[in-house]
Chain A
Amino acid sequence: MSESATIKPQVNQSLFLPFFESTREVLSMMAGIEVKVGKPYKKRPPFNYYDVTGQINFYGDVVGVASVCMLGDTADQIIERFACTKLERGTGEYTDAVGELANMISGSAKKNLGVNASITTPNVILGRHTVVPSSAVPCVVIPGSCPFGEFAIEVSIKLVSGSSGGR
């Protein structure tokens, strides 16, 4: 993968490691999908393309965004398992389901960040796209795979200077 690069020490591991467990837990409990997560790497251009992305913003002692990024076919099948019914990409129901998955993955990771943070309601991107990270916040890509294909959790959050979090 072209984005591959080792993670520099200044990337705070405690800010992305909680997403490993939350991703596994959410997909297993809410969709009955067993997920494997791979070795995380620092996001670098050229960026991967996705078709379906659910984003949650963080604020408080950390700021940034976490994105659940999928290709269309994989997303369709994950969403079908979660919603227990086939949903058409582009409908409100589909967007809603993507948003709620992203909400649960980020919300569930949040409790293990060891900081006082809040999250926003989700934002969903559909159609072929890349997710361009903010230059001010390092972005770590956590590759995931499941029986329906590969996906990625892109975590781009940082501690707000002056806060004491990040175990």
Chain B
Amino acid sequence: MLNILLVDDSKTMRAVQRRALETMGPCSFSEAGDGEEALSVIGTAGAPFDFIMIDWNMPKMDGLTLVKKIRETNKTTPLIMCTTEAEKSRVVEAIKAGVNNYAIKPFTPETLIDRVKQTLAKAKPAGA
């Protein structure tokens, strides 16, 4: 069972992501609508997340700030930025801040799943 946190200010987008990711197998989803809410969900979560999907443009606290905050204390949880921000400079900025992978909106369900599989494969070396 994959334990996933979806962070996006659009509830519709989180539902679209959920529908795509559910096809990978059993998943348990937590959700947050901005960076601040995400930090509080992470702080009170019982088990660590297998990965966190993070939007860039959100109110209160944006995704880039959230990534930096998470990485202050947690270097291991895979973080995937899922955003319309597609300029090379933005991707570089996000990677510097600590994201493991990057999915650009709009996406097909296949691309999103692909990004997640890539990320999880790198996070857990074979045989681990």
Residues of A within 8 A of B (CB): 25-26, 29-30, 82-84, 92-93, 96-97, 99-100, 103-104, 106-108, 110-111, 116, 119-121
Given the complex of chains A and B, what is the CA–CA distance between A99 and B89 in angstroms?
25
- B31 at interface, CB cutoff 8 A: no
**B85 in contact (CB, < 8 A):** yes
Residues of the A chain whose Cβ atoms lie less than 8 Å from the Cβ of B13: 100
B57 touches A107 (CB 8 A): yes
B57 and A108 form a contact (CB under 8 A): no
Contact call A108/B15, Cβ cutoff below 8 A: no
**Contact, CB under 8 Å: B58 / A121:** yes
Nearest chain A residue, comparing its CB with the CB of B108: A29
* Residue contacts A-B, CB under 8 angstroms, 5 given: A83-B16, A96-B12, A100-B12, A110-B84, A121-B58
Q: How far is the CB of A118 from chain B (nearest CB, A)?
A: 8
Secondary structure call for the B interface: loop
A contacts with B: majority SS: helix
In the bound complex, CA of A16 to CA of B114 (Å): 32
* B1-20 interface bits toward A, Cβ cutoff 8 Å, 1 = contact, 0 = none: 00000000111110110010
For B107, list chain A residues within 8 Å (CB): 29-30
- Determine whether the beta carbon of A107 is less than 8 Å from that of B12: no
B59-90 residues at the A interface, CB under 8 angstroms: 59, 83-87, 89
A100 — which chain B residues lie within 8 A by C-beta?
A: 10, 12-13
Residue B105 at the chain A interface, CB threshold 8 Å: yes
Chain B residues whose CB sits within 8 angstroms of the CB of A111 once the complex forms: 85-87
Say yes or no: is B106 at the interface (Cβ < 8 Å to chain A).
yes
Min CB distance A59 to B, Å, is: 12
